[in-house]
Amino acid sequence: MRGVIPVDVLRNRHISIGSHSRVEKLSNDVYLEVGQCLMNLKGNEEKLTAFLDNIRSWKSVVLSDVPKKLDFTNKYDVLQSLVGVPLPEKIDILPPQGIHNKGCGTSKRLIGAGERAITKSKRPKRPCRGCKELVNHDIRNCPVRKATSN
């Protein structure tokens, strides 16, 4: 039974979200029937060619009786007809504020997370024997000792 798709899954595949009209269900059934025919004719080139010729002849007959209905004024009308959902009145999702790419025109250099971690983990303060305080230097580079030696 591998490769067999249940009919219920195929039947609901092309229905738009929130659509329950009779016309949309009929168009869904048309998709289902054509899809099943294509799956059954997949390996037979002669029958696929004959099927395509039949579809094209039916298309010319059907479209000759129906007026052309695809007059869209803008791209939003096209997208609404494809998706099946109208464009919302108000858009609640906006792009985030304050996001900057690295090096995006700021005059100062942006510091990465790794460099930030290194600066936060500076060595601990130790007592300096030169100035007798808890600082980040030792007697070798003590500013008090350098000032007195000059």
Q: Bigger pLDDT: 7 or 85?
A: 85
CA distances from 35 to 5, 14, 15, 52 (A): 11, 11, 14, 13
Q: How confident is the model at residue 126 (pLDDT cuts 50, 70, 90)?
A: confident
Q: Above 60 in pLDDT, residue 117? A: yes
Residue 145, exposed/middle/buried by CB under 10 A (0-12, 13-18, 19+)?
A: middle
> Which pLDDT belongs to residue 81?
77
Give the CA diameter of the chain.
105
For the segment 20-73, what is each residue's pLDDT rounded down to a tens digit? 678 888 888 888 888 898 898 888 889 989 999 998 998 888 878 776 666 667
Average pLDDT (95-120) is 75
Residue ranges in 74-142 assigned as alpha helix (H): 75-83, 113-120
**Is the separation of the CB atoms in 123 and 136 below 8 Å?**
yes
Report CA Rg, the chain.
36
- Tokens 């490769």 sit at which residue? 3
Report the predicted TM-score, pTM, of the whole model to 2 decimal places. Answer: 0.35
Cα dihedral sign for 81, 83, 89, 91? Answer: negative
CA distances from 146 to 54, 132, 149 (A): 98, 14, 5
